[in-house]
Each structure stands twice: as C-alpha cells, then as structure tokens.
Chains A and B, each alone.
Chain A
Amino acid sequence: MFVVIRDLLRHNGDFLAGIVLTGFVVAMALLSFVSPYHPLDQFVAPLDVPPSAGHWFGTTSRGQDLFWLLAYSIRNTLAFGILVAIISRVLSLSIGLLAGYRGGWTDRILMSINDTFIVIPLFPILVLFYFVMRDNMSWVLLAVLTAFLGWSYDARLIRSVALSLRNREFTQTAVFAGMNTREILAREHLPFVLPIVFSTTLNNMNWSIGLEVTLAVLGFTDINRPSVGGLIYWANQHSAVVAGIWWWIAFPVGLVVMLFIGLYLLAVSMNEYIDPRSRLDRMGGQGR
C-alpha cells in the first residue's frame, strides 16, 4: 500500500496534483477546529471588507470573517460527502457482490432495481423531499437519502468484478470448504473489489458534494448550517456580485472547484493504477 502510493506520487502527475489539491482543502477544513470565531456568529467583524491582512478572504455583508467561515463550511461539506460515501458504499458493496456472486435471478432482479435508480432523475426527488420536510430538513437526513439514491452506479461496477471472480478457482475451493455466501463475499471477494471501491468512493463524493452544493445554493437545505453552498446562497441573497463583493462568491467557488478537480484526479490516477491496460498505454507500448 505504502509502496503503491510512493510509486504513484513519483510517476503519476495526476495523482500528485490530486493529492496537493485535496490536501489543501482538507487542511482548510481542519483549520476550522482552531477558529477564533463561532460559525453561527454574525456581525462580529466589520462588513464587506475586501481581502486584507486582517481578514485574508475578506468579510461578508453579514459581518462574518470569510476565511474562518469557509473553513467551517468546507468541513461540513466534506462531512456530508464522507457520510454519503460510507452509507452508499455499504449498499453498493453488498448489492454488487451479492448480485455478481449469486448470478441468475438474484442478479437479474437486483440489477433491474439498480438500473432503475441509475435512470431516475434525482434532483427533482431531492427537491420534493426538501419541499415536504422544510424546516425539519437536516444534513444527516439529506445524506441518508442521497446515499439511498446514489449507490447504483458503483454497484454495477462492483458486480461486474464480482461476476468475474465467481468462476475463479478459489471461489470453488471456498464453496467446497463449506464457507457460506456471506463468508465468501467478505473474505474471498472483498479484497479484489476494494481497489475499485476506492476510486468509486472518490467519484461518489464528488457527485454527492456537487449535489449538496447545488441544493444549498438554491436554499433547499438547512440554510443555517454553514456549508459551501450555503455561503453562496447567502452571497446571492445579498447580491454580492452586483454589489462588487466578489470575494464572497470567488473564494467558496474556488475552494470547492479545487476539491472537485482534486478528487477527480485522484480517482482517475487510481483507476489507471487498477487497470493495467491503461498503465501499459502510459508506458508507450500498445500491449500486444
């Protein structure tokens, strides 16, 4: 594992760039733990100060220091992405492995359901959910729902790997050794699937964070909980761009874009590592 990371860092520019970008964003989130401000405090700083030595990212029209507020916001946004990733991993792993291992009707039924969730447009459903919940909406609730709607794509990938594992000899050996389905999946198949789980997790986080930012920007989440989307929502409410308070929009957008590109690059380079065909391609041979 350690060697893999070292090799990737040394030979793969995408991976290095991804680490740097994601690392910066995570460091920013960690800084929130030493913030001098409470995230919900308003009018504790002068209004509309441009970026300066005293306030690195400037201040908002609501009297907040943007740097520290952004640190809290990105922490909450990351927490959302991680929570969705964890819940949806459990779902996509168990469904993907089960469908791939069992095959036959189990596979057909599970994949039909899976394809359904791939096709259904999620945004209107999440909006409907917000509409019904209104003030009772919390980020945990939203994360759970997002995870329940967002496991399907990865489950399909995991299933295709599990399908190829099913016919391998060690699976047969495990069956003859009397292991039950759960044991075989957890002990024999899980290790093979983990690499893709890793890269799909990153893509999944990108997707769910994008969704959360979008919902928050429209005001369709708990707007009082600091989040990157929420920041942009309040900036829009105060017409920040028109009023020339560009930093209120620019820094949150910039930071979240760094996160998106960083996670994406990590996922891409990880994929390249997993798929030997593209690795060979990188070395210049066509692999024939």
Chain B
Amino acid sequence: MRVYARYFVNRFLQFLLVVFIGVNLAYLITHATPIDPIEHTVSVATAFGHTAPEAVAAMRESLRELYGLTGTPFEQYVNFWRRVLVADFGPSLSAFPTPVSTLIGRATPWTVGLLGVATVLTWCIGNLLGGLAGYYRRNRLLKAFGIFAMALHPMPYYIAAILLLIVFGFVWPIFPITGGSQMNLAQGWTVDFALSVARHSVLPLLSLVLVGLGGWFVGMRSLVSNIVTEDYVVYAELAGVSRRRILTSYIMRNAVAPQVTGLAISLGHVFSGALITERVFGYPGIGSLLVDGVNAGDYSLVLGVTTVSILGVSIAVFVIDLLYPLIDPRVTVS
C-alpha cells in the first residue's frame, strides 16, 4: 500500500505540473505577445461608423476589467489563476451575455462522448487486431489490414475527415455530414434523438477511428511478436497451457501495459484531432466552439476553451495513470 501511495503522489505531482505549465503557457501567449486583445476588439467594434472617443474609452475600460487585464502584472497573473480554478472566464463576446463556462458546458458532453467512444473503439480494435497479427504472423487477412491501417495512419485528422466528407457527402451520400443531431429535433432522452445523434456521429467517429487504428495496430503487433519469445510464454507452451489462454493471459495481458501508457501519451494528440474533426463535420463540441470563437474574435471564449482543454486532458491522463497499477503490478516497485 505504501508503494502505491508513493506512486499516487508521483503521478499527482506530474498532473499538477502539466496543469501549471499548460496554464502558464496560455497566460504567456495571451499576455506576453505584443498584440493587445483589447485594442483588437475595440478596433473591430468601432470599425463601422463614428464612435465617440469617450465611449471608446469606456469600452476599453470595461473590456480590460472583463479580461482581467487591470492592475499590476502580478495581480493579473493571480487573477488569471483564480479564474481558471473556478472556471470563470467571463461572458462570451459573440454570444453576449452568456458566460463562456455555460457555452463550454453545453459543448463538452458532445466532445467527451465523441472522443470517448472513438478512443475506446480505436484502442480496442487496434490492439486486438494488432495482437492477433503479431501472434498469427502468416494470416493474410490480418496482413492486408495492417497495410490498410499503415496507409491511413500518417494522415492528419483533417485530411481523413475531408476525404470522408467528400466520399459520403457527395459521392455516396448515406450519412449526414454536418451537425450533432437533426436540426428540428428536440434534445432529450428519446429514442429518436438518440438515433439521430448516432447517425450524425458515424462520420466523425469513423474518421477518428480510421486515423487512430494504425498506431495501435503496429505498436501492438511488434510488442506481441517480441513477447512471443519471452521465457514465460515459451515455458507456458512447454507446459501445454492452451493456446487461447497463452494468447490472452500471457501475451496480450503483458502487451497491454505499454499500450495503456501509450494511450495516456497520445491523448493530447487525439484530443486535438477530435477538435479538428468536429470542425469539419460541424459537430457541436468544443472544437467547433473554438473555431467559431476565433472567427468571431471572442477572446474570453478562445482562452476558456484552451484552458479547459488543458485541464480536461491532464485529468484524463491522471485517471489513466491511477488505473495503470491494476494492469501492471510491477509499476509500484520501480
């Protein structure tokens, strides 16, 4: 138990470090650049027609307060942290006066759902097939799948998404290509709505899964083909343990541990991919919110989405870290 406690503390410190560096990065980018977001917003707001200089000054002042840009740099920095910790990013400029946190709260379930399902599917399918391909090296079907997955793997998410969009939007339109559900359908716990959500999520899911599969497949295949020669596998074979038992409890079970670490490592990347995919398919999640925020010049929204993303991903990674000892009992030793 004491070793687990030490492991826990270690991972928790790492989690804090991720949040600390991530939030500071966001602070640095928004505060240390020569560009003043206030002036930018003011110039957008006053671009049309004449505005009285007093009104501009008042606007500037209220924006400054809104964005937490008042006081000394140190006060600003402390203020920034306070806002992050209570998840208060002020009102959105493009959807005034809705608070940014409300907008993010509305979008989060979509992103978490899409990303969660995609990640679980990709990880399970990729590792299962990769493991089988490593064990049954001469299987033609698995070899062909390997080539297919390898060709898709280096594709950035955007390109995969747009290819699917073209294929299923124009060449063979069988799936809806935009939105999270049917427009005129009331959101709620109804079968119709659930089906609509499922249908709308097919293409975004598919593009995330297709791009992600190859990495897990190739990784698992090479892990398994190395583990096959490990002493404990050979020994179990000599003991006449059934092939199925050897494949599951001896080979796959040992190969899964590094792949769980891999999941934690790749989560940030997959998250970025999901944001982009959402944008391509007009999926109402955080990614669309982010891009809309940029296009509308909504400073607090963009900053809010960025910090929430950093927090969300690091929490998810922390959770995976905590579950890891269940998979590999050796981790608490070293």
Measured in the bound complex, the distance between the Cα atoms of B211 and A214 in whole Å is 15
Measured in the bound complex, the distance between the Cα atoms of B273 and A214 in whole Å is 10
Q: Which residues of B contact A133 (CB under 8 A)?
A: 33, 35
Contact between B222 and A132 (Cβ–Cβ < 8 Å)? no
Measured in the bound complex, the distance between the Cα atoms of B40 and A232 in whole Å is 27
Contact between B33 and A132 (Cβ–Cβ < 8 Å)? yes
Q: Which residues of B contact A278 (CB under 8 A)?
A: 222
Task: Judge whether B255 is part of the interface by a CB distance below 8 angstroms.
Answer: no
Cβ-closest chain A residue relative to B270: A121
Task: Judge whether B158 is part of the interface by a CB distance below 8 angstroms.
Answer: yes
Contact between A287 and B170 (Cβ–Cβ < 8 Å)? no
Given contacts A125-B25, A132-B33, contact A257 B155 (CB under 8 A): yes
Task: Judge whether B314 is part of the interface by a CB distance below 8 angstroms.
Answer: yes
Task: Judge whether A218 is part of the interface by a CB distance below 8 angstroms.
Answer: yes
CB interface residues, B 290-334, toward A, < 8 Å:
290-291, 293-294, 299, 302-303, 305-306, 309-310, 313-314, 317
Measured in the bound complex, the distance between the Cα atoms of B151 and A263 in whole Å is 11
Q: Digitize B146-169: 1 where CB-to-A-CB distance is under 8 Å, 0 elsewhere.
A: 000011011111110011001000
Q: Digitize B11-36: 1 where CB-to-A-CB distance is under 8 Å, 0 elsewhere.
A: 00110011001100110011001110
Contact between A256 and B154 (Cβ–Cβ < 8 Å)? no
Task: Judge whether A167 is part of the interface by a CB distance below 8 angstroms.
Answer: no
CB interface residues, A 249-263, toward B, < 8 Å:
249, 253, 256-257, 260-261, 263
Within 8 Å by CB of B290, from A115, A117, A127, lies A127
Given contacts A121-B309, A127-B306, contact A134 B158 (CB under 8 A): no
Given contacts A118-B268, A217-B158, contact A264 B153 (CB under 8 A): yes
Q: Which residues of B contact A134 (CB under 8 A)?
A: 35, 40
Interface size on A, residues (CB 8 A): 48
Q: Which residues of A contact B247 (CB under 8 A)?
A: none
Q: Which residues of A contact B310 (CB under 8 A)?
A: 120-121, 124-125
Measured in the bound complex, the distance between the Cα atoms of B32 and A282 in whole Å is 52
* Stretch of B78-86, B118-126, B223-231 contacting A (4+ beta carbons < 8 Å): B223-231
Given contacts A261-B151, A264-B154, A288-B229, contact A218 B30 (CB under 8 A): no
Contact between B21 and A125 (Cβ–Cβ < 8 Å)? no
Task: Judge whether B213 is part of the interface by a CB distance below 8 angstroms.
Answer: no
Measured in the bound complex, the distance between the Cα atoms of B229 and A286 in whole Å is 7
Task: Judge whether B265 is part of the interface by a CB distance below 8 angstroms.
Answer: yes
CB interface residues, A 230-283, toward B, < 8 Å:
232, 241, 249, 253, 256-257, 260-261, 263-264, 268, 277-278, 281
Within 8 Å by CB of A128, from B34, B170, B267, B306, lies B306
Within 8 Å by CB of B156, from A113, A120, A211, lies A211
Within 8 Å by CB of A253, from B162, B226, B279, B306, lies B162
Task: Judge whether B260 is part of the interface by a CB distance below 8 angstroms.
Answer: no
Contact between B294 and A119 (Cβ–Cβ < 8 Å)? no
How near does chain B come to A60, taking the closest CB pair, in angstroms? 17
Task: Judge whether B103 is part of the interface by a CB distance below 8 angstroms.
Answer: no
Contact between B154 and A261 (Cβ–Cβ < 8 Å)? yes
Within 8 Å by CB of B159, from A116, A121, A213, lies A213
- Jot down 25 A-B pairs with beta carbons below 8 A, ordered by A: A112-B14, A115-B14, A116-B14, A116-B22, A119-B267, A120-B310, A120-B314, A121-B271, A121-B275, A122-B269, A124-B272, A124-B305, A129-B29, A131-B293, A134-B35, A153-B265, A210-B154, A214-B157, A249-B166, A253-B159, A253-B162, A257-B159, A260-B159, A263-B154, A288-B229
Binding site for A on B (CB under 8 A): 13-14, 17-18, 21-22, 25-26, 29-30, 33-35, 37, 40, 150-151, 153-159, 162-163, 166, 170, 222, 225-226, 228-229, 264-265, 267-269, 271-273, 275-276, 279, 290-291, 293-294, 299, 302-303, 305-306, 309-310, 313-314, 317
Binding site for B on A (CB under 8 A): 112-113, 115-125, 127-134, 136, 153, 206, 210-211, 213-214, 217-218, 220, 232, 241, 249, 253, 256-257, 260-261, 263-264, 268, 277-278, 281, 286-288
